[in-house]
Every structure is written in C-alpha cells, then in structure tokens.
Amino acid sequence: MEQQTEAWQRRYAIRAGIEATISQNVRTCGLRRSRYRGLARTHVQHILTALACNLTRVADWIAEPTTTRRRSTRFHALCTATA
C-alpha cells in the first residue's frame, strides 16, 4: 500500500496544491494547447498565462466579497458548551 506511506502523502499534497492552478489555467486561459510553434514562443505564452492567472487572483483577493458569518446549529452549540 504505497498510498499509506508518509513519503507518498507528502508528494501527493504538493501535487494536490498545484492541481487547482493547472485547472484554472486550462479552463480560463486555454492552456491545453499552445497557440505557437517552437519552445521559445510557447514558453512566453506560459509565462504570460501565469502572469494573467496571478493578476486574476490578486484582483479577486482585493475584491474580497463580504461574507456573513454562518449561524451554528444547535448541535454544534451543544458540543461546544460541553467541551
């Protein structure tokens, strides 16, 4: 059971962290296919796509929607009162 080892779980945690970024770039910026031929132009496309992704994330972070605090359930209140 390789998945039970601590080394595998550390490697998977790193991969799980980057999967959302890759998915966002594929969905929003069309990163699945390159517009250009050749490594140099493709590399520039990847750099600009990463820049656009980071700018989008910064804009979302600045706009930070105001969220209301969720009401706790009676069960949660009971559990915290007895703890």
Token representation of residue 43: 């590399």
pLDDT at position 65 over 80: no
Structure tokens that stand for 35 in this block: 């517009």
- 1-8, Cβ contacts within 8 angstroms, sequence gap of 24 or more: none
Residue whose C-alpha is closest to residue 46's, from 31, 56, 65 = 31
pLDDT at position 81, please? 85
Determine if the pTM surpasses 0.85.
no
pLDDT tens readout for residues 28-62? 888 888 888 999 999 999 999 999 989 988 998 88
Which position has the higher pLDDT, 50 or 72?
A: 50
**Rounded average pLDDT over 6-27:** 86
